[in-house]
Amino acid sequence: MTDTTSRFIVSADWLQERLTDQTVKIVDASWYLPQHNRNGKAEYEAGHIPGAVFFDQDEIADHTSGLPHTVPSPDVFAAHVGQMGISIDASIVVYDGPGLFSSARVWWLFRVMGATKVYVLDGGLDGWKAEGRPLTNEPTEPQATIFAPVFNADAITTFGEMRSTVETGSAQIADARGAGRFTGAEAEPRAGMRSGHMPGAKNLPIAALAENGRLKSIEALHETLLAAGIDLDRPVVTSCGSGVTAAVITLALQSVGHADNTLYDGSWAEWGSRDDTPVVTGKA
């Protein structure tokens, strides 16, 4: 990778050269909304990168929260990924189908749990397939290991903290949902949920951060973040529909060297479903 590319991105060439390297662990983190008409687990079983394990974001979650795929406890996370053969000191490459949709969430989760060598595959599985690279439908049989988590709770914004941020303006809010949902022109995909956005939020759809499933260059990310109204000298809280694509903004921020950012795990699934939270419509 060049210095114009995020330090968190690895190329297909880089990964293909290391498919037999036992210190490199490959994670398929494909997850989709109903309107995508794609099934991550089914696609994994039909054909995945050799050695990849499937990370089920709905299963490896806190099922007591009442919200979709919220951050699991460190013990739950560790138990699952340990069975996948992944230790905290491994080099972990995460991918999804289109390249930059759900992979960043699992990249972020591993980092929240203390892993430091975590990367996203440039172009995702769709790009890998388009280039005729190796695939297999044979199940991966990893050797179980111990993942010893070092949990960073400070990377996560809770509902109470999000309410305080909205009330005080102590941090910027970057919302990864599409413009229609952000402005309220389009209905939310989850029933019974208001559309619109939190007061003061800036809209930064994930499509603006990528080209053909590949994260933009560092320079282009700078320009896109600034164009969205994000002051890179101030703290940022990222949000989206349910905490998945918010991590794409987190990836972009950390790629350009912004460190003072957190992710609102409940995101709009929590904020928009309550009747005691302020919601505004129209452009920010």
Q: Which residues contact 92 (CB under 8 A, 6 or more apart)?
A: 24, 25, 27, 86, 110, 115, 117, 118, 119
Which residue, 102, 140, 132, 138, is CA-closest to 120?
A: 102
Q: What is the CATH number of the domain that holds 225?
A: 3.40.250.10
Query: Per the structure block, which two tokens stand in for 208?
Result: 């603006």
Distance CA 174, CA 205 (A): 9
Q: Check: CB of residue 148 under 8 Å from CB of residue 88.
A: yes
- The helix (run of H) or strand (run of E) holding residue 77 is helix 74-83
Q: Is residue 2 part of a domain?
A: no
Please report whether residue 284 resides in a domain.
no
pLDDT of residue 2: 53
Q: Which residues of the chain have pLDDT under 50?
A: 1
Write down which residue in 132, 150, 168 finishes a domain: 150
* Residues spanned by the domain of 109: 9-150
Enter the pTM of the model. 0.96
Same domain, 13 and 146: yes
pLDDT in tens, 53-70: 999 999 999 999 999 999
Question: Are both 16 and 67 inside the same structural domain?
Answer: yes
**Which are the catalytic amino acids?**
240
pLDDT at 1: 45
DSSP H or E run through 215? strand 214-215
User: 42 burial class (0-12, 13-18, 19+ CB within 10 angstroms)?
Assistant: exposed
Domain count, the chain: 2
pLDDT confidence of residue 34: 81
Q: Is residue 276 part of a domain?
A: no
Looking at the fold, whether 135 and 161 belong to one and the same domain comes out as no
- Same domain? For 30 and 110 the reply is yes
